[in-house]
Amino acid sequence: MASPPEAGARLGAARPALDRAACQRGRLGRLLRRLLAEAVASCRATEGTLWVPSPTGAALEGALNHGQTPDILEAASVPVADSVIGLVFCTGAAACIGPDDPHNPSVDEQTGLPTRAMAAAPVRIGSDTVAVLSVINPAGGGVFSRADLEALEWKAYLAALVIEDAHDEP
């Protein structure tokens, strides 16, 4: 697994950095928000977040959120070295957790809402993971299914295409 600085260095070497501000403005922001809303709906989730690396690479920052707490999550961050989102970012592999699995509690503490289940998928451009798309808490309870994770991975793939296209624009 790549350490946070190595992951950040890989990102910076390949293309311009993807950050909160870039995700929130213009055509890119509109398209990513739409994809995030579609991911939440297709996975039956109550909330979804797009996470991007911090300038130091030691954390992932909430860039966009579709759900109950966008004002909190679009200002939140989680450590790469101690979070499910960070694991997905560093390994480039999607993951699901359920109610008995450990996760970093910092976002739950900020929102006041418990994470009972989570699915997360890497947003990859070439061999680089540039962001992570996550959804939490399936409507009606329970855990996310394999079909939910596959739907999330598809939305993450589409997000990568949108991000790559935005970087190619003049």
State pTM to two decimals: 0.88
Class of domain 4-168: alpha beta
Beta-bridge partners for 131: 123
Structure tokens at 150: 């596959």
The per-residue pLDDT for range 52-68, each reduced to its tens digit, is 999 999 999 999 999 99
| Residues of the chain predicted below pLDDT 70 | 1-17, 168-170
In the sheet that holds 95-97, the strands lie side by side as: 77-79, 59-66, 45-53, 128-138, 118-125, 95-97
Q: Are 50 and 159 in contact (CB under 8 A)?
A: yes
- Sequence-ordered strand ranges (E) for 6-164: 45-53, 59-66, 77-79, 95-97, 118-125, 128-138
**Domain map of the chain by residue range?**
4-168
The pLDDT of residue 170 is 55
Report the C-alpha gap between 146 and 61 in whole angstroms. 26
The pLDDT of residue 168 is 63
The per-residue pLDDT for range 14-46, each reduced to its tens digit, is 445 688 888 888 899 999 999 999 999 999 999
